[in-house]
Structure 1
Amino acid sequence: MLLYAKLLVSMLIWGGTWVSGRVVAREVTPFSAAFLRYVFASLVLVMVLMRTEKRFRLPARNEILPLFLLGLTGIFLYNTCFFAALHTEEAGRAALISASIPAFVALGDFLFLGARLSPSRLLGIPVSLFGVALILSHFHLATLFTSGSELGMGDVYLLACALSWAAYTILGKRCVECMTPLFSVTWACLFGSLLLLPCALVEGVVTKIPLVSSTAWGNLLFLGVVATGLAFCWYYEALKGIGASRAGVFINLVPVAAIILGVLILGEHVSLSLLVGGATVLFGVFLTNRPQRAPRIRARAAA
């Protein structure tokens, strides 16, 4: 139960990242924003790692490639696309695309990790996706497909976010089988920061730092310290404890959390579609995480 509680809080935190990311993206270019976020995250995680494990261990030779791939997918690719998308896309629409992540995670978990997709999980994924669609469309599902005949660059970036996070989740499942979650997250952030550094320098991050407002700095701290340093560790603990498919489906709660935060912080109206859609999402998560009964084997009567 503690793992599920941490996972739920992580989704609430990540719901807030869409709002914070939108604020930051108005002032800071994508590579620079992602780099600054993970400078904060890396510093915090290194300190926590040294305090927890009493030392700062370098990756072993066989750990370098998996950790580098985590940094490439979950830090470099995801966050660059995240900030690039939020420069043009609204936070609510962006959060909706994130709901496609569990489908990619479950499929990848099945193809690459050999996980079994039970009928309940196969049903839970589309049910939760349908709930998110109800929330953001206010019961008018057709409006989700009428923004234009072609995909805009913001939509492409958001789809890239979903694919990169799915890859990160699947790779992370393998990493936490032989490394601690904290070690994996820390080195993923360090490798991701190294990948982001040259791109941020090309964007002129050094000259732009003095121009960043205090509001944007506050949101970068939230994104780096809380949404990365804390929530990433909890997410990895869940990957190790309950598996990639079950942990990944909780991403469906991120758009719900984003809307709730909008109500609490911005005073937005609580509509019927929010209540019905939120209940649908939770029901889909329940189906996906429903314990599977072992098949009953009838004992043969003694001859």
Structure 2
Amino acid sequence: MVRAYLLLTITMVLFSGNILVGKAINDLPPVTITFIRCVIAFMILLPLSFYQLKNNHTVLKKEWKPIVGQAMTGIVLFNVFLYSSLQYTTSTNVAIVEATTPVFTVLLAIFILKEQLHRLQYVGVFLSLLGAIWVITEGSWQALLAIQFNRGDLLVLIAVIAWAIYSLLVKQHGHKYPLYASLTVMIAIAIVVLFPFALYEWRDGLISLLEPTLILGLLYLGIFPSVIALLFWNKGVAAIGPSRASIFLNLLPVFTIVGAVVFLGETVTVIQLIGGVLVIGGVYLSTKEHAASSPQQVVGKKALDR
């Protein structure tokens, strides 16, 4: 039990590192970061998933539509918009807004899958969205009325919605194909889709890629959040169950805020702290029972994260 808790805690640290490293290397364009990360992850996952790919190629071919949908939402759109947002806003804001992902997944499930929530879960949805709006508007309702939002906060909000759609696809279709084989195929699809856009970003050259700091950052993104954290997450879920494991997702903004202060020199405001508390509390309330009845969504939630 203690080992599972440790693995899940480390997983959240690694996922928060995705935001921090993405902020640290945001001199690189967002598609380039996503593309190179995918290439690194693909090189690591291919040998791990070789036998799954070999033994399940028929079902993977048959279920190509949901696999493409997951690749586009969970890998391409989520990461491109996430890394784009980090060029305009702080990693703290990104972490807080991103923490609302389970809530948006719940909302989409209500409208698309016609799922029902309990009263307490509706309270959680309201609190979490209130916290996100509080952070995005910097605690100013005038900004809300005037529609004056930080561009980066809106970009990460789009990323959150993309990930929520991905989570629904996982819930509906994830049980049809093995995890590592499907993940490898999704990353391969993302590489193909991203390549022409990456070429466009490279039109003026990418000499900066030779800088050691950027190389280390890209290696981190391709290895730790994409592969190692995934393995730790799956082991933790197997040990204590998806419902209890999902609670650890609330640690993501906590670790990100600490890392942003220590490594990036960001300052945390009272407004951000209030918003973070509202988001974390709201996510806990809105997903407490929902996660218990939807284990596939919780497991899939972090399959390709950050």
Mark yes or no: TM-score above 0.5: yes
Distance 1:129 1:10, change over 3 A: farther
Q: Is the 8 A contact 1:105 1:166 kept in 2?
A: yes
User: Deviation digits for residues 58-78 of structure 1, max 9, x if unmatched?
Assistant: 353321111111111111111
Distance 1:130 1:161, change over 3 A: same
Report the counterpart of residue 208 of structure 1 in structure 2: 206
**Residue type of the partner of 1:175?**
H
User: Deviation digits for residues 20-43 of structure 1, max 9, x if unmatched?
Assistant: 1112211x1121111001111111
Q: Is the 8 A contact 1:39 1:193 kept in 2?
A: yes
Distance 1:4 1:131, change over 3 A: farther
Report the counterpart of residue 229 of structure 1 in structure 2: 227
Report the counterpart of residue 16 of structure 2 in structure 1: 15
Distance 1:211 1:275 in 2: 35
What is the percent sequence identity of the aligned residues?
26
Distance 1:171 1:234 in 2: 22
Distance 1:250 1:105, change over 3 A: farther
1:159 corresponds to which of 157, 160, 169? 157
**Residue segments in structure 2 that go unaligned for 5+ positions in a row:** 293-306
In the TM superposition, 1:22-37 aligns within 5 A as 22-26=23-27, 28-37=28-37
Distance 1:113 1:4, change over 3 A: farther
TM-score, structure 1 length as denominator?
A: 0.75
Post-superposition shift, 1:55? Answer: 4.5
Q: Is the 8 A contact 1:102 1:251 kept in 2?
A: no
- The alignment covers a number of residue pairs equal to 285
Distance 1:145 1:252 in 2: 27
**Residue segments in structure 1 that go unaligned for 5+ positions in a row:** 294-303
Distance 1:205 1:35, change over 3 A: farther
In the TM superposition, 1:72-111 aligns within 5 A as 72-111=72-111
In the TM superposition, 1:110-121 aligns within 5 A as 110-121=110-121
Q: Is the 8 A contact 1:14 1:227 kept in 2?
A: yes
**Residue type of the partner of 1:107?**
L
CA radius of gyration, larger in:
1
**Residue type of the partner of 1:87?**
Q
Report the counterpart of residue 179 of structure 1 in structure 2: 177
Distance 1:24 1:50 in 2: 32
In the TM superposition, 1:1-303 aligns within 5 A as 8-26=9-27, 28-50=28-50, 53=52, 55=54, 57-58=56-57, 60-128=60-128, 141-142=139-140, 145=143, 149-151=147-149, 153-204=151-202, 207-208=205-206, 211-232=209-230, 242=242, 247=246, 252-265=250-263, 283-291=281-289
Distance 1:156 1:272 in 2: 21
Distance 1:6 1:278, change over 3 A: farther
Distance 1:152 1:260 in 2: 22
Report the counterpart of residue 299 of structure 1 in structure 2: none
Tell me whether 209-218 or 67-76 shows the greater mean CA deviation.
209-218
Distance 1:24 1:178 in 2: 37
Q: Is the 8 A contact 2:89 2:150 kept in 1?
A: no
Greater helix content? 2
Distance 1:258 1:19, change over 3 A: same
TM-score, structure 2 length as denominator?
A: 0.74
**Residue type of the partner of 1:90?**
T
Post-superposition shift, 1:189? Answer: 1.4
Post-superposition shift, 1:212? Answer: 3.5
Report the counterpart of residue 298 of structure 1 in structure 2: none
Distance 1:251 1:129 in 2: 16
Q: Is the 8 A contact 1:172 1:236 kept in 2?
A: no
Post-superposition shift, 1:120? Answer: 2.5
Tell me whether 257-266 or 99-108 shows the greater mean CA deviation.
257-266
How big is the alpha-carbon RMSD for the aligned residues of Structure 1 and Structure 2? 4.0
**Residue type of the partner of 2:162?**
S
